[in-house]
Amino acid sequence: MNRVVIIDTGIANTASVCACFTRLGCDVMVTDDPAAVRDAEFVVLPGVGRFGAGMRALQSRGFDRVIVERYEQGLPLLGICLGLQLLCTSSTESEGVAGLGLIDASVTEFPCEVRTPQHGWNRVGDGYAYYSNSYRIESIPAGWSGELSDHGGPFVAYLQRGATLACQFHPELSGAWGERLLVSWLKRSQEVSRC
């Protein structure tokens, strides 16, 4: 059974993420202990809220260092919504606040002429995913693979690199398609981590 540890930042809604991985047959734990994250088989960084508040929450608990260490070691990591954005270098939502810098990209607001937040379903590759976001990455950064969606122009739906998957949408709320993506991440991460 896969053991999935979900980071409790104090600002994220973890209930839907827990429920999804439980449905997938995983052993799920929510923790605010960086040591539990460091030693975990799979780690999820969920996110709801503002970039600056998210980074402060990670730094105040020491999660920022642990997440970077896991990424550098090639250990399985999943970022969801704000969790993806926190992996980036910065965001115009919180000027002057540095992100974790694992993804060489800045997060920017959708153009003012489109509805924000983008709230609902949008196409991603061969399926549809559920979004709730006002900020996005505009293009896939060098060294990453991924898929785009469109909302007032193309933007990053998700990114993959090694055992890391970062989704702007909420895979746990994206029905069977989202669950298939998560199962693929679990399997792919185990294969990559063994190499």
Instruction: Give the pLDDT confidence of 97-106 residue by residue, as tens digits.
Output: 999 999 999 9
- Which string of b and e fits 105-117 if b means at least 16 CB within 10 Å? bebeebeeeeeee
Cα separation, 52 vs 99, whole angstroms: 9
pLDDT reading at 163 higher than 90: yes
Structure tokens at 10: 């104090």
10 sits in the region (left: phi over 0; alpha: psi -120 to 50; else beta) called: left
Band (pLDDT 50/70/90 cuts) for residue 191 is confident
Between helix 51-61 and helix 63-72 the angle, nearest 10°, is 90
HSE toward the beta carbon, residue 43, CA cutoff 13 A: 28
What integer is the mean pLDDT of 17-46?
Answer: 96
List active site positions. 81, 170, 172
What pLDDT, on a 0 to 100 scale, did the predictor assign at position 48? 82
pLDDT at 195 over 80: no
Domain 3-194 bears CATH identifier 3.40.50.880: yes
Residue 73 confidence (pLDDT): 96
The pLDDT tens digits for 108-131 are 999 999 999 999 999 999 999 999
- 1-17 confidence digits (pLDDT tens): 899 999 998 877 799 99
